[in-house]
Amino acid sequence: MINAKHNPYAIYDALLRVLIWEYDKALWLFRKPVRKIETERVDFIKKIKAPPNQKLAVDDGVLGSYIKMHELSRHAIHMSETLQAAMKTVESTLDYVDSHFRPEETVPKETAICPMNVIAGIRFSADFLGNLKLRSDAFVDRIHNEVQL
């Protein structure tokens, strides 16, 4: 474990790990409802073929299914937006730490490896956020595909 006393930037690495954990959990909450929409497509199409029998209630029938997809799409788009902002923030943080950190001046010799661990941790977090963004964009595309059907 990196000591923040020897490396004040270590807090960025720790904070990013918690933040990414939360993003990861939130993002995967989209999987089940997106998959449900995809697997219920046939039933949805059958409802469209018989519009006279449909009620125009927001929680039932074709309109209800469309509204659910639209709401899910809205949340998925928001997730992608926040992941994009988080990625930019992490990249800026990494640039700052890289340009301002002087391990030979701020870290005792016995902990000289710590700065590289922190920077590597922040880089890993940046890459992980990028991968979460790709997953989020895929959910947006999948929902959009269902709405367009």
pLDDT per residue over 116-148, tens digit each?
788 888 899 999 999 999 999 998 998 888 878
**pLDDT, mean of residues 17-22:** 90
Query: Is 2 a member of any domain?
Result: no
Query: Is 4 a member of any domain?
Result: no
Query: Is 5 a member of any domain?
Result: no
**pLDDT, mean of residues 60-84:** 81
Query: Is 15 a member of any domain?
Result: yes
Query: Is 75 a member of any domain?
Result: yes
Q: Which range marks the domain in which residue 62 is found?
A: 10-148
DSSP letter for each residue of 76-107: HHHHHHHHHHHHHHHHHHHHHHHHH--HHHHS
Query: Is 80 a member of any domain?
Result: yes
Residue 7 tokens read as 């490396």
- pTM equals 0.64
Total structural domains in the chain? Answer: 1
Query: Contact at 8 Å (CB) between 78 and 99?
Result: no
Query: Is 1 a member of any domain?
Result: no
